[in-house]
Structure 1
Amino acid sequence: MYRFLLTPRWWGINIFVLLAIPVCVFMGSWQLSRFEDRVQDHRSASEHSEANEKAAAEPLASLLPVSTQTSGKRATATGHYDKQLLVPDRDLDGRTGFYVVTLLKVDATGKALPVVRGWLPGAASAAKAPAPPKGDVTVTGALQSSESPGSDGVPATAGGLPSGQVGMISAASLVNLVPYDVYDAWVTLDEADARMTPVPASTPQGSGLDLKAFQNLGYTGEWFVFAGFVLFMWFRLVRREAEALRDAELGIAPQEEG
């Protein structure tokens, strides 16, 4: 009864099924491995963050350029504060406020290091932001890489901010506001100045269980569903073909649908 499986038409169907199922299983397994890699990266980032909090601060120069290995490490730098800027629309503990960023001109190089001195609630206002300390200071805090729009909750500010405000903390956006070079990194202080709230260090991009990680998990399920669907349809077509042949042998006319 099942000799029809050896006909040219069914050879084509069989070959398609034999190729489609392994491809679906392979793609599902690959997506699952991507999700597992992201889970492992998340665990490593958490362990890395805990280790950084306990480790002694290192000189800024020894941690540059910022990488996934140095991001979050405690850095120390000495210099004097210069221009102060505000970064609006930053959330902390469920409230919206703004960062107070002051450029520290590092004595050894003359380049400026953006220092997040703290966070304040409400709309960004220069009157609310405490003035930076005078004279030489030594800062200690978590080293971070330059921000990019849309990453780690950074708003993609299109521009048009008032004078004294900046949309993100990056050398590309700050270099146009000051007449000196700016490090492609920034530091958030361990202890915020004055009455401000300290800003916690963020994890390196791509190391957390973000939406992309769960998309990988969703794609895993989809590929395995596709494999099951292909197998289900093959069995259904085989059964219908066998039933049609049996009815033909018994002289039973096929019933018209509708």
Structure 2
Amino acid sequence: MLRPQWILMLLLCLAVAGIFAWLGQWQLGRAVDTAPREEGATEQVMPIEDVVEPGSYLTDPLVGQRVVATGAFVPDDFIVVSSRFNDGEQGYWVTGQFRIDAATPTSVAVALGWAETLDEAEAAASALAAEAGETLEVTGRLIPDEGILPSGPGADPFELTRMSPAALLGRWHDVTDLDVYRQFIVSDEPAAGLVTIHSPAPDSGTTVNWLNIFYAAEWVIFAGFAFYLWYRLAKDAWEKEIEDLEEASA
């Protein structure tokens, strides 16, 4: 193990382990430096354009931020989303395309309220479509896209069970050159015939980011593996030399 090639390999392993250790320390620093937002920060209503841009992702401190937007609902784009739980009860959301007053066509999906039955949800959607078009303000909590869930065997392929602006966009009208927010707004005030959607304020946060701590531990393991790899290679070479000497002496 004290031969030049193994000493050089040990130095290389030390360099690699040093890099891994630095990366681990960096991840640990990010975990410790993560600070919660000021208490009640998400409850201060902000213009949506000051929180996030259309098409951009929402950073963690701003998830659940209460926002306000000015515009009008598109009459033909009130869509029912199923499998929505409200205080433990399963039901339906009525959603709409809210066209924001902006220099370029911009829309955000809005969840307008909860209904216990599909008939109630569809009736509320029809009533909203008849009254849509008036300029108004919508205030509510900004929530990230839930993603698209593929339909299971035998399920209705047209039924939406996730609140996904990306999925809703495929059913909206007049979307040419339209900018769309990746997030949706849960309205503070329910539409007529609907129940307020339970949307509590997010947790204030934590001073420890456990995911970064997990990554830091991984880098420590990688650094240890670099030394173990050098030890195994050197030991295997040494044992082979011993075997060759024993065979030669025999």
**TM-score, normalized by length of structure 1?**
0.59
Number of paired residues? Answer: 220
Corresponding residue SS for 1:18: helix
Query: CA, structure 1 residues 111+128, in 2 after alignment: closer, same or farther (shift >3 Å)?
Result: same
- Show CA shifts across 1:87-123 (max 9, x none): 34567777776543222244667754311234567xx
**Could you list the runs of 5+ residues in structure 1 that have no partner in the other structure?**
148-152
- What is aligned with 2:186? 188
How far apart, in 2, do the equivalents of 1:22 and 1:92 lie? 55
Equivalent runs, 1:168-247 vs 2, <5 Å: 168-170=163-165, 172-181=166-175, 183-184=180-181, 185-192=183-190, 194-200=194-200, 213=212, 216-230=215-229, 233=232
Equivalent position to 1:78, from 62, 70, 76: 70
- 2:12 is the counterpart of 1:19: yes
Q: Shift of the alpha carbon at 1:164?
A: 6.1
Equivalent runs, 1:55-70 vs 2, <5 Å: 55=44, 57-65=45-53, 66=56, 68=59
Q: Shift of the alpha carbon at 1:235?
A: 9.0
How far apart, in 1, do the equivalents of 2:69 and 2:171 lie? 22
How far apart, in 2, do the equivalents of 1:39 and 1:91 lie? 35
Q: Shift of the alpha carbon at 1:15?
A: 0.8
- Show CA shifts across 1:35-80 (max 9, x none): 542564xx44x41684122x2x233444451553766443212344
Query: CA, structure 1 residues 229+126, in 2 after alignment: closer, same or farther (shift >3 Å)?
Result: same
Corresponding residue SS for 2:30: helix
Instruction: Name the aligned partner's letter for residue 100 of structure 1.
Output: V
Query: CA, structure 1 residues 209+200, in 2 after alignment: closer, same or farther (shift >3 Å)?
Result: farther
- What is aligned with 1:150? none
Instruction: Name the aligned partner's letter for residue 115 of structure 1.
Output: V
- 2:105 is the counterpart of 1:115: no
C-alpha contact (below 8 Å) 1:78/1:139 kept by paired residues: yes
**Could you list the runs of 5+ residues in structure 2 that have no partner in the other structure?**
none
Relative to structure 2, which stretch is displaced further, 157-166 or 232-241? 232-241
**TM-score, normalized by length of structure 2?**
0.61
Query: CA, structure 1 residues 215+51, in 2 after alignment: closer, same or farther (shift >3 Å)?
Result: same
- 2:133 is the counterpart of 1:140: no
How far apart, in 2, do the equivalents of 1:35 and 1:236 lie? 34
How far apart, in 2, do the equivalents of 1:239 and 1:186 lie? 64
Query: CA, structure 1 residues 62+225, in 2 after alignment: closer, same or farther (shift >3 Å)?
Result: closer
How far apart, in 1, do the equivalents of 2:28 and 2:87 lie? 28
Instruction: Name the aligned partner's letter for residue 9 of structure 2.
Output: F
Corresponding residue SS for 1:165: coil
Query: CA, structure 1 residues 88+18, in 2 after alignment: closer, same or farther (shift >3 Å)?
Result: farther
- What is aligned with 1:51? 41
Percentage of identical aligned residues: 19
Instruction: Name the aligned partner's letter for residue 199 of structure 2.
Output: V
RMSD (Å) for aligned C-alpha atoms: 4.6
C-alpha contact (below 8 Å) 1:60/1:77 kept by paired residues: yes
Q: Shift of the alpha carbon at 1:233?
A: 5.0
Which has the bigger relative contact order, CA under 8 A and spacing at least 6? Answer: 2
Instruction: Name the aligned partner's letter for residue 103 of structure 1.
Output: Q
Equivalent position to 2:81, from 79, 87, 92: 87
Query: CA, structure 1 residues 29+102, in 2 after alignment: closer, same or farther (shift >3 Å)?
Result: same
Corresponding residue SS for 1:225: helix
How far apart, in 2, do the equivalents of 1:94 and 1:35 lie? 38
How far apart, in 1, do the equivalents of 2:91 and 2:196 lie? 11
C-alpha contact (below 8 Å) 2:85/2:91 kept by paired residues: yes
